[in-house]
Amino acid sequence: YLCDEEINENELLLKNLTSLLNKLTDDNFNTLFIEITNFEKINNLEILNKAIDRLINNIKFNQVFCNTYSKLCYNIDSKDLWGYTDENNNNISFKNMILQKLQYEFFNIFNEKSRKEELDLLDSIECEDEKYDEECELKNNKNGIILLLSYFYNRNLIDNKIMEEIIRYLISPLDRKST
């Protein structure tokens, strides 16, 4: 169990990180990356998961900055800023954790249950303008994940084998059973 002081420190760290992610652009990347490196190394599994979730959520809503976010991920990985060691003394890297979460997000795009839930949500919205807005938001979330994966490939964060699998799914997504 974490004491209140640790919870407050963790929440403050995540709040500051979210603030920096919301400000991140190509123009201010170097300055903000220095601020991120000044954070204490993120090596707690709970904080790392939340930090990666916030990063992915920013990517979903700010696809324009996918290249910048991929650069951030590349730099975090290459400088080994984030990661943790589990109870068996295994090192779990930031790269492995974010790729695992992106894999889940990517395959969720093609998941029948997820697609049905989206259709049900859209069907439940009566106002055509609201329905259109929600449909655009859902589409943008998917596009953000796919774009980020392509930028990860360009930065060698994922290899050819993974990219080939991604392309197979994108070429014929409806021919596959959900995962």
DSSP lists the bridge partners of residue 84 as: 92
Distance of CA 128 to the CA centre of its chain: 30
**Residue 56 is inside which H or E element, if any?**
helix 45-61
Q: What is the pLDDT along the chain (179 residues), one digit of tens a residue?
A: 455 555 677 888 888 888 999 999 999 999 999 998 887 667 788 888 999 999 999 998 888 899 999 999 999 999 988 888 888 888 888 999 999 999 999 998 888 898 899 999 999 999 999 999 999 999 988 999 999 999 999 999 999 999 998 898 888 755 555 44
Question: Using CA atoms, how far apart are residues 151 and 157, in angstroms rounded to an integer?
Answer: 9
In 3D space, the residue among 116, 177, 158, 118 whose CA is nearest the CA of residue 142 turns out to be 118
Go through the chain and tell me how many residues it has: 179
pTM of the model: 0.82
> Which residue blocks in 41-159 are alpha helix, DSSP H?
45-61, 66-78, 94-110, 112-124, 128-154
Question: Using CA atoms, how far apart are residues 166 and 156, in angstroms rounded to an integer?
Answer: 15
